[in-house]
Structure 1
Amino acid sequence: MAPELSVTHRVVRWDLPGHGGSAPGLIGPGATVGDLAALVLALADSLGIDRFAYAGVSLGGAVGLHLAVHHPERVSSLAVLCSSAHFNGSKPWEERAALVRRDGLAGLAESADARWFTPGFTVPELVADHRNADPDAYAACCDALGAFDLRDRLAGIDVPTLLVAGRQDPATPPAHLREIADTVPGATLVELPGASHLAVAQCPEAVLAALRPHFGAAPRRGMEVRRQVLGDTHVDGAQSRQTPFTARFQDFISRYAWGEIWTDPTLTRRERSMITLTALVAHGHYDELAMHVRAARRNGLTPEEIGAVLLQTAVYCGVPAANSAFAAAQRVLAEDDGTEG
């Protein structure tokens, strides 16, 4: 996944202590997620990186939440994948840490597929890495998981936040990610069907599809296009009425509808306006229709072309629907021409 993201971003990957290329002695018994976050900040400092977008899986996701809460000045945006704001208390992690310190990781590695993937799927290299991790460092990571609970601080996170959940994840089920999404202002939740705990390995394309717009320019570009099509007055009004309850919906509109669909060059804006007018007539959304009649004019449709679109809807959406649509459109066109009232 890093090679794909590195096309448009500088990507820095880090391993947990005692995993991959990281030294095991970086943490010890009683370690916390804060200790791991400090290692991330030290790495960023060593590379001259002041502020960064962060993505983390499982324990790595918890590190991201800690960074966003305790070091918000360092995090520009956050993606938390198959993780949680808590990991069901300390007892199971104390037991696992004791087991690993006593017996090593061979036994846990045997059950890794069941914990990480859906039945029949595996990534042998990841299982081998798990088996070869340093037992003491792994146990220290268990200590960190057992002590972690950031639920009472989530509402203070104010960076763009993406949550990704595997629907078949037994370790951090979607409800854990939904809890974060419901508390972090403006957070977006993506649930991946057919994915378990290591969704990044099992469904890499789906994860990339979520990460790219989140870390890319889609929200900014979406807002630009939204203003160009709907006008500043409408968008400013929508933004002024935004509340914590509607923030995720407004983000969805700017990020997805305007940042991805309306910016797709396959269709012109004129064509998209014609499609949108038809869809709104079909579903009887006449308030939205009035707004998009104005948008269609901004996108270059003439009143005659708008009338032709609405006439077409009379055939396929019904005469009563088209009648209401013509009335709404006529009011808008008259207002814009300064001939009404």
Structure 2
Amino acid sequence: MELRHRIDGPDDAPLLVLGPSLGTTTHLWDPQIPELARTWRVLRYDLPGHGASPAATEPFGVADVADAVLALAGPGRFAVGGVSFGGAVALSIAVNHPGRVSELVLCCTSARFGDPATWRQRAARVRAEGMGWLAGMVTARWFTHGAESAVAEPMQSSLLGTDAESYALACDALATYDLRDHLPRVTARTLVIAGDRDPATPIEHAELLGEGIPGARLAVVPEAAHLANVERPAVVAGLMSRFLGHGRGMKARREVLGEEYVDRALASGAASGLTADFQEFITRYAWGDIWIRPGLDRRTRSVITLTALVARGHLDELALHVRAALRVGLTPDEIAEVLLQTAVYCGVPAANAAFGVASRVLREMDAQSDDKE
């Protein structure tokens, strides 16, 4: 399956993949790109027969689209999200490939889109009559009655430009899609966004996602129907930006502190709700504004951090940053030199405690290395 796509944002930023709803294209996410692409490398794709993607020539399922998206994303972990059908694709990836997904954004989507017979009936009518009859019915579900024509008409045009057979095959795919029993398999931090006037995926669908996915956060957008990100673009951009944090900050944090530690910290914050905002704060400001500045390399920043932690007696944090120092290229001998320097300027008792922490960390890391061998 070939999916045409486009990429916005810095080449060195972490990857964020965003999928469209049925009947729309990559342009669905245009309102959020200026904010997200500042610190994320954003990949958007068109569904089969939508936008620039070739028409589908054979039946496909949501999982098939998910596999094609994984191929576009390449190796490694990434954040993924989508609206409606695109949200189903994102959820399918998170369920079946949990190790690949760092963050998950589900906007106006569901684990099951209603009665399968309804989707098969829609597919049959599209095959018989084409796309024209859909315009009024679908766009009435996409937007509230107060939506401006300048907002709704471009989306209607993209719907009418969709290949009819590809649209029908996508309806068939939604008829067989059901991940309700698999939601606990999602391990990624998850944000569920719902429109309070969405008739296609009502709030009950979002609540099911929020309750079924461990630690998921639910946000309801007021005065919005199914395409909430188009109808209330600033609200959705703000929700996503706060949840995803600073993209390059998250990348730096993972590279310095390690994937496992960051995953545990984020999961703990999401599960308890107590530290979630704090995790976003330190990702955005400490790692996104300070650690990525070009004025000092990471080795130098690590030396400064070790010294400051010894001076203030933050021994738990010191253990974390001894590991980080090794990860950014400091040797055990260089760490010892840093701690020896602190004995002069921070005091012998502080340095003594720091040497104890560093020695324990190095022993633990040596033991882990031996176990792997």
- TM interval, shorter chain, is 0.5 to 0.7
Whole-Å separation in 2 of the counterparts to 1:180 and 1:2: 25
Whole-Å separation in 2 of the counterparts to 1:207 and 1:24: 30
Matched residue, 2:58: 28
Matched residue, 2:231: 202
Question: What is the aligned-residue identity percentage?
Answer: 41
Q: Is the 8 A contact 1:167 1:194 kept in 2?
A: yes
Q: Is the 8 A contact 1:37 1:66 kept in 2?
A: yes
Q: Is the 8 A contact 2:108 2:227 kept in 1?
A: yes
The 3-state SS of whatever aligns with 1:85 is: coil
Whole-Å separation in 1 of the counterparts to 2:280 and 2:144: 29
Superposition RMSD on alpha carbons, in Å?
A: 2.8
CA drift of 1:116 comes to 0.2
Normalising by structure 1, we get a TM-score of 0.64
What is the aligned counterpart of 1:50 among 51, 70, 76?
A: 76
Whole-Å separation in 2 of the counterparts to 1:217 and 1:260: 5
Q: Radius of gyration: which is bigger?
A: 1
Match status 1:160 vs 2:186 = no
Whole-Å separation in 2 of the counterparts to 1:214 and 1:63: 20
CA drift of 1:253 comes to 4.9
Q: Is the 8 A contact 2:107 2:194 kept in 1?
A: yes
CA drift of 1:52 comes to 1.2
Match status 1:186 vs 2:215 = yes
CA drift of 1:248 comes to 4.8
Q: How many residues align?
A: 239
Gapped runs of 5+ residues in structure 1?
A: 225-238, 262-297, 299-341
Matched residue, 1:79: 105
1:113–1:52: structure 2 CA closer, same or farther, 3 Å change rule? same
1:142–1:251: structure 2 CA closer, same or farther, 3 Å change rule? farther
The 3-state SS of whatever aligns with 1:50 is: coil
Matched residue, 2:168: 139
Whole-Å separation in 1 of the counterparts to 2:211 and 2:88: 17
1:71–1:90: structure 2 CA closer, same or farther, 3 Å change rule? same
The one-character-per-residue Cα deviations of 1:72-110 (angstroms, maximum 9, x if unpaired) are: 122111100000001113100000000111111100012
1:256–1:175: structure 2 CA closer, same or farther, 3 Å change rule? farther
Q: Is the 8 A contact 1:188 1:248 kept in 2?
A: no
User: Which runs of structure 2 are paired with 1:92-111 in the superposition (5 Å)?
Assistant: 92-111=118-137
Letter of the 1:12 counterpart: L
CA drift of 1:154 comes to 0.4
Letter of the 1:249 counterpart: G
Match status 1:4 vs 2:35 = yes
Q: Is the 8 A contact 1:115 1:170 kept in 2?
A: yes
Normalising by structure 2, we get a TM-score of 0.59
The one-character-per-residue Cα deviations of 1:277-325 (angstroms, maximum 9, x if unpaired) are: xxxxxxxxxxxxxxxxxxxxx9xxxxxxxxxxxxxxxxxxxxxxxxxxx
